[in-house]
Amino acid sequence: MKKKCFCAMALIALACTLPSLAIEEEFEEQIAPIPVLLEGKAKEDEIYSYSNYAESIESAGASVDIYTNQDIKKQGTPSLSEFLNQSASVQINNANGSLGSPSTIRMRGTDRIRLTIDGVRADRGSLTSPGVEPQFILMDDLERVEIIRGPQGNLAGTNASGGLIALQTRRGKGPFRVELGSEMGNLGTFKERFAFQGEKDGFDYYTGITWFKTDGGMRTNNLGKINNDDYNNLSVVTNLGKKVLDNKAEIRNVFRFARARKDIGLGYQQSYPYGMYESPNNYALNLDIMNTLSFAHNPNEKYNYDAKFSIYHNRSNNYILPDELSGDPTYTSISKINSTRMNFQTQHNYKIASWNTLSLGYNLEAESIDGRSKDIDMWNGLNKNSYSGSTLQNDVYINDLINIKDKLYIRGGARLSHHSDFGTYISPNASASLVLPTFKLKGAKTKFRASWGQSRNNPTLYQRFGTVNSAYMLSLANPNLKSEKMESYDFGLTQSFFDEKLSFDLGYFHSDYNNYIGYRGATDPITWMYVGQYENVDKATIQGVEGKITWEPKTWFKLVSSYTYTNSEDKATKTDLPSVPRNSFKTMAYWTPHHRINIHAGVVANSGRAMSTGEQADRTDGYVDVQVGANIKVYKNENTEISLRGTVYNLLDQDVSMYKQGPTIYYAPGVNFRLGMFMDYTIPERKKTKKENL
């Protein structure tokens, strides 16, 4: 049936193409030349990452959300995890409830999504699942966030079956400007920030340095408030660009550095010695270094291309230190994992006709991992362990976009991949959107959209090679893991009124997985040794409905509300997939009662979720999380702007629970706040003297 649907879509695309050939001359002059390839040139009503060049958001056959730097500033949220949790069908699952804890992003129920920074893959090979962890990325240095739901295996590549989250780094604009910020709050929270940027004679520059620290404030059901839950993040970002070749080309280098420490000890549980004991001295240290050098060239209106070379290195260290009050005061465990990825990619866009844009691309990825660990305990003495692994992947892809009078957009393509361990496979994608004025209703517009795709999710290097062999835990590597195969489709309708001041969006999504990668483990009741391994589950299905309402009657007020119902099933156990809530409601409101005052309020309500598969799986309760904040410009003149910004989180002091392990439930902090002052200062340009003017 699905093959027939795909064939039907192909025939429709062909049928639409043939008449458009005949009318090409009729509207040749009405169609603008191919948009520029430069990422920073996408406008608010355009999307970049759907085709890797700026295009109208109307052309997207998938459900899309776009957040600009202004949206980021309004919320003032420091971490990417908190920011993304406001978006429809996006769920953040924390290993515990506080900032900086290991987090995974799920979109439409799956964590098989791709995260890119300036078009480059940014997930690390040492992850325990083929998804992404956003907890180390701070928001201050981001210009734009684009979220595309559904299969994106064609242009985005492997591990993009659930969708794509594309981040763009800020770049310098205008005269030299300095940004200063200082923020503090309860739970020992503070953030210090310094940045400068500018643009002159075709050269732009941006540098941001941010130091964010908080005591965390995580709580559990049997320990009360946890005081040793600190998070400390130092982030440095630079973005340098130079226009060349008569401003038709651009050379750009983006460097990102982040050093984050997270205290993860949980202390003394009341259930000890019958429950899990963890020393309060435990902590994790993460180091991220990423550099991307790119060249983009628009030689003429018919053709443009870009090329990028990037290197991404991550070092993840975990320390379990001795504690004299524990059952084994000598126990020490140190684990160090290094992962590196080198990537080269290029895309070439050809405007074959005024209505047809063809893209050809190539991608090369070389990835490696090595890990070392040792642990000491009073019964077994010293135990050492090491492992390593590497992979190489080549991809070529083609994508064709047909635009018929800015009304019908048909897109199709495929990626041919060759992996050093998983062989050769193809990931096809197709989508369409039809935008029409609503019949007999002025100022209204109707958009029909649909997309279909197949994709592969390759297991991470850690899943295939990483092992843990300690006194209390044995987690075995599985080099025989197979890559997941996924087929997904979705369709929806967007109806807008009053010149798009009010819009409703409703859609359905469905995904089938074969060889789904899961983790199975159990504790031996005699030795209390935990033994686990990653395995391929036979089949899994995720399907659901999502709806969104956007209301912006005036420029000073905007309301966005969404609801998502997700039904996921592990076909082997007939139970829900882990960390997928059935029901999720989110709303965000922005109100500007005065040009100097901006107020925002948000609500996130999720139903409970399972923590693993199986009838006996631990489940968390549902929760409601409310935040309110304000941004007030207290002073502004031609060169200086000073603002006060404050936000209250978990306003209702709810038990926000995202994780449960055995008898222990982990909660986010109770009601907490942050308040800060920020200043933008633009250095005035020196006026020329009369002599210089002469």
pLDDT at residue 210, rounded to an integer: 95
pLDDT band at 573 (very low <50, low <70, confident <90, very high): confident
CB 323 within 8 A of CB 352: no
pLDDT at residue 39, rounded to an integer: 59
Q: Check whether 22 has a pLDDT greater than 50.
A: no
pLDDT at residue 19, rounded to an integer: 36
In the chain, the amino acid numbered 454 is Q
pLDDT band at 24 (very low <50, low <70, confident <90, very high): very low
Q: Count up the domains in the chain and report the number.
A: 1
Torsion, Cα of 599, 605, 611, 616 (10° steps):
160
Domain coverage including residue 552: 2-693
pTM: 0.88
Section 439-447 average pLDDT: 91
Which CATH number goes with the domain that contains 615?
2.40.170.20
- Write out the DSSP string of 597-658: EEEEEEEEEE--EESSSSTT--EEPPEEEEEEEEEEEEEE-SSEEEEEEEEEESTT----EE
pLDDT in tens, 448-482: 999 999 988 888 888 888 877 666 667 777 888 88
Q: Check whether 364 has a pLDDT greater than 70.
A: yes
- Kindly list the distances between the CA atom of residue 687 and the CA atoms of 177, 422, 675, 684, in Å, as whole numbers in the listed order: 17, 64, 38, 9
pLDDT at residue 373, rounded to an integer: 86
Q: Check whether 328 has a pLDDT greater than 80.
A: no
In the chain, the amino acid numbered 682 is T
Q: State the average pLDDT for the chain.
A: 84
pLDDT band at 4 (very low <50, low <70, confident <90, very high): very low
Which stretch of 169-178, 314-323, 482-491 has the lowest confidence by average pLDDT?
314-323
Which stretch of 244-258, 317-331, 517-531 has the lowest confidence by average pLDDT?
517-531
pLDDT at residue 83, rounded to an integer: 86
pLDDT in tens, 203-222: 999 999 999 998 878 888 76
Query: What are φ and ψ of residue 314, in 5° steps?
Result: -130, 135
CB 162 within 8 A of CB 132: no
Q: Check whether 31 has a pLDDT greater than 90.
A: no
Q: Taking the CB of residue 248, how many other CB atoms lie within 10 A of it?
A: 14
CB 342 within 8 A of CB 393: no
Q: Burial of 551 by CB count in 10 Å (0-12 exposed, 13-18 middle, 19+ buried)?
A: middle
pLDDT at residue 692, rounded to an integer: 56
Q: Check whether 93 has a pLDDT greater than 80.
A: no
Select from 441, 540, 424 the least CA-distant residue to 487.
Answer: 540
| Close Cβ partners of 42 (under 8 Å, ≥ 6 residues apart) | 48, 54, 144
Considering 139-143, 183-187, 361-365, the range whose residues carry the highest mean pLDDT is 361-365
pLDDT band at 418 (very low <50, low <70, confident <90, very high): very high
Higher pLDDT, 537 or 46: 46
pLDDT in tens, 483-521: 888 899 999 999 999 998 999 999 999 999 898 887 776
pLDDT in tens, 636-661: 998 999 999 999 999 999 988 877 77
pLDDT band at 667 (very low <50, low <70, confident <90, very high): confident
Portion of the chain with pLDDT greater than 90, in percent: 46
Q: Check whether 195 has a pLDDT greater than 60.
A: yes
Q: Check whether 345 has a pLDDT greater than 90.
A: yes
| Close Cβ partners of 526 (under 8 Å, ≥ 6 residues apart) | none
pLDDT at residue 266, rounded to an integer: 62
Section 94-117 average pLDDT: 81
Section 8-20 average pLDDT: 36
CA Rg value for the chain: 26
Query: What are φ and ψ of residue 58, in 5° steps?
Result: -65, -25
Q: How far apart are CA 332 and CA 170, in angstroms?
A: 42
Q: Check whether 13 has a pLDDT greater than 50.
A: no
Tokens of 578: 């882990």
Higher pLDDT, 692 or 263: 263
CB 37 within 8 A of CB 296: yes
pLDDT at residue 668, rounded to an integer: 85
pLDDT in tens, 276-305: 445 667 888 999 999 999 999 999 989 999
